[in-house]
Amino acid sequence: MIIPGAPAPDVRCSRTSCGLGPEWEIHWRNPKIHTADRVKVWLSCGDHRDYFVGYLEQRNFPVSAVAYGGEK
């Protein structure tokens, strides 16, 4: 759970081996195993946003990217 205005100091991009801080939240779910109200969240740096979105779109998972922590 992410609380606006109180970012955890150790949050990082969810990409393995990427140590950058998050700029995006990738919201997605797998319709086969997740109910409609269940949303998974990955954190992504600016460089990996397209990687995550493309990965999930290839699997036909509902996906959306929103700015991490709201607008700055």
Query: Which residue, 22 or 29, is less far from Zn ion as judged by CB?
Result: 22
| Strand pairing class (40-44; 63-67) | unpaired
41 binds Zn ion (CB under 5 A): no
For residue 24, with 0-12 CB atoms within 10 Å meaning exposed, 13-18 middle and 19 or more buried, which class applies?
buried
Cβ proximity to Zn ion, 17 vs 58, nearer residue: 17
Other beta carbons less than 10 A from residue 40's beta carbon: 13
Q: How far is the CB of 17 from Zn ion (least distance, A)?
A: 9
Which one of the spans 2-10, 30-38, 42-50, 62-70 is the region binding Zn ion (CB under 5 A)? Answer: 42-50
